[in-house]
């Protein structure tokens, strides 16, 4: 009895599938072209991991630099200033503290200065320019003078042992900038 025709039968001779096992040495050690197409080499895997690690380390470095860099240096802006002249007249020596251009508001201290003494500095608007004199153990007499934009504002005098005097004024606040 004749067998029913197989719909998948094209009439070509059957060929055995040898992709799983082969007697050739190339297939046994994975060097056949088919084997190299199916799995990547170990060197390529390690290169990919190394490149990924370098990129990750670079990104982490940029983030750390950004955090540290901004923490160290606060944003700087230039405040409008006024010219202030401090003058201390007298004989001998004194400790002098005065306000100069410092956005942080820190005062400048000059210890054991020989008198007379004079400084012209820039002081940010909105701060109080001041000069303080302190006489030493030997005492004496010294006076401070303060001028803002060339105009005399105040005078004060220190007397005796460890005598003190302060000259101070107010500067106007800077005008807020109006967008146009």
Q: According to the model, what pLDDT value does residue 116 have?
A: 96
Average pLDDT over residues 70-77: 55
Q: Does 73 score more than 60 pLDDT?
A: no
Average pLDDT over residues 145-174: 91
Query: pTM for this structure?
Result: 0.53
Residue 73 vs residues 59, 66, 67, 104: alpha-carbon distances, Å: 21, 11, 11, 12
pLDDT tens column, 17-58: 544 544 545 544 555 555 555 565 666 677 878 888 788 877
Q: According to the model, what pLDDT value does residue 105 have?
A: 58
Average pLDDT over residues 64-77: 61
Q: According to the model, what pLDDT value does residue 166 have?
A: 95
Q: Does 62 score more than 50 pLDDT?
A: yes
Kindly report whether the peptide bond that precedes residue 76 is cis, defined as omega within 30 degrees of 0.
no
Tokens of 14: 């059957």
Task: Count the helix, strand and coil residues of the chain and give each as a percent rounded to the nearest 5.
Answer: 25, 35, 45
pLDDT tens column, 86-101: 999 998 899 999 988 7
- What average pLDDT does the structure give for the chain? 76
Q: Which of 96, 99, 97 is nearest to 112 (CA)?
A: 96
Average pLDDT over residues 8-22: 51
């Amino acid at each position: 009895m004749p067998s029913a025709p197989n719909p998948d039968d094209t009439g070509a001779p059957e060929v055995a599938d040898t992709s799983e096992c082969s007697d050739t040495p190339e297939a046994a050690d994975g060097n056949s072209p088919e084997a190299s197409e199916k799995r990547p080499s170990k060197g390529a895997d390690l290169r990919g991991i190394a490149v990924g690690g370098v990129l990750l380390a670079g990104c982490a470095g940029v983030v750390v630099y950004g955090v540290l860099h901004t923490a160290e240096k606060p944003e700087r802006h230039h405040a409008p200033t006024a010219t202030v002249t401090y003058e201390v007249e007298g004989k001998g020596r004194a400790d002098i503290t005065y306000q100069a251009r410092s956005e942080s508001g820190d005062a400048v201290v000059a210890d054991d200065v020989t008198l007379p003494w004079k400084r012209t500095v820039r002081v940010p608007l909105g701060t109080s320019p001041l000069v303080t004199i302190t006489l030493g153990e030997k005492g004496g007499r010294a006076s401070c003078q303060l001028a803002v934009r060339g105009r005399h504002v105040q005078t004060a005098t220190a007397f005796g042992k460890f005598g003190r005097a302060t000259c101070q004024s107010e500067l106007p606040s800077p005008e807020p900038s109006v967008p146009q």
